[in-house]
């Protein structure tokens, strides 16, 4: 069964659920949008988007050490209450995110964090590559946009495929946790250290 990007986008706009969750819902509903919405609501995933604007002033700063002490990560994940921050589910979520950062080395939390000059530089490179390969001028911009989208998926934490489950992104993982625990959550920032490499701190502003 082929699930089009347009169907996924339509369902996401209606429910706010993650990409992989929308694909699963469409598959279960045989591409019926109304049944897919019902599926997501039954799973509690559609409700997660309604919590997105709520303040996240609690949470945890979680460390993770990997590869015999060669790689270390500190990640800050925020939630609404100290009660949720102390639950095993939330603590497990922050450990999974920190472990993922250690393994996949994202550069940013989300695509909105990528500096404009970095985006322009990447697009210029992609356009030059397309031109060099003989692509017609009218499709070069589209090719560059497509490659830029892949850049986001490779380098933005929320869009990376979860290292423990390639069927979901880190954004999907966060959405599931929001639905399960009933609070808004946000990956605020992370720092990754590796022996012999420099370190970069990546952050988003905290929800107000």
5-50 and 54-111+156-203: identical CATH topology: no
Note if the pTM is more than 0.85: no
Q: How confident is the model at residue 46 (pLDDT cuts 50, 70, 90)?
A: low
Q: Which residues contact 61 (CB under 8 A, 6 or more apart)?
A: 74, 75, 76
* Structure confidence at residue 50 (pLDDT): 59
Summarised one tens digit per residue, pLDDT across range 87-115 is 999 999 999 999 999 999 999 999 999 99
Spell out the residues 6+ positions from residue 111 whose beta carbon is closer than 8 angstroms to its own. 152, 156, 159
What CATH number does domain 115-153 carry, 3.90.1410.10, 3.40.640.10, 1.10.286.20, 3.40.50.720? 1.10.286.20
E strands present in 67-206:
71-79, 161-162, 165-169, 186-194, 200-203
CATH class of 54-111+156-203: alpha beta
Q: Which CATH architecture has domain 5-50?
A: Orthogonal Bundle (1.10)
Q: What is the pLDDT of residue 203?
A: 45
Q: What is the mean pLDDT of the chain?
A: 86
- More confident: 124 or 38: 124
* Bridge partners for 93 per DSSP: none
């Amino acid at each position: 069964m082929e699930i089009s990007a347009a169907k996924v986008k339509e369902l996401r706009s209606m429910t706010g659920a993650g990409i992989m969750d929308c694909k699963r819902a469409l598959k279960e509903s045989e591409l019926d949008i109304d049944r897919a919405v019902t599926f997501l609501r039954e799973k509690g995933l559609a409700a997660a988007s309604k919590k997105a604007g709520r303040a996240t002033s609690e949470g945890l700063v979680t460390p993770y050490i990997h590869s015999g002490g060669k790689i270390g990560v500190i990640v800050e994940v925020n939630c609404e209450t100290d009660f949720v921050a102390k639950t095993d589910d939330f603590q497990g979520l922050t450990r999974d995110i920190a472990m993922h950062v250690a393994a996949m080395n994202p550069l940013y939390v989300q695509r909105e964090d990528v500096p404009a000059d970095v985006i322009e530089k990447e697009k210029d490179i992609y356009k030059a590559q397309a031109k060099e390969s003989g692509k017609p001028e009218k499709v070069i911009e589209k090719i560059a946009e497509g490659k830029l989208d892949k850049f986001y998926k490779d380098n933005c934490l929320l869009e990376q495929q979860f290292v423990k489950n390639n069927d979901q992104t880190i954004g999907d993982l966060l959405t599931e946790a929001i639905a399960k625990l009933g609070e808004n959550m946000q990956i605020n920032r992370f720092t990754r250290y590796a022996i012999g490499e420099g370190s970069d701190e990546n952050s988003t502003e905290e929800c107000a």
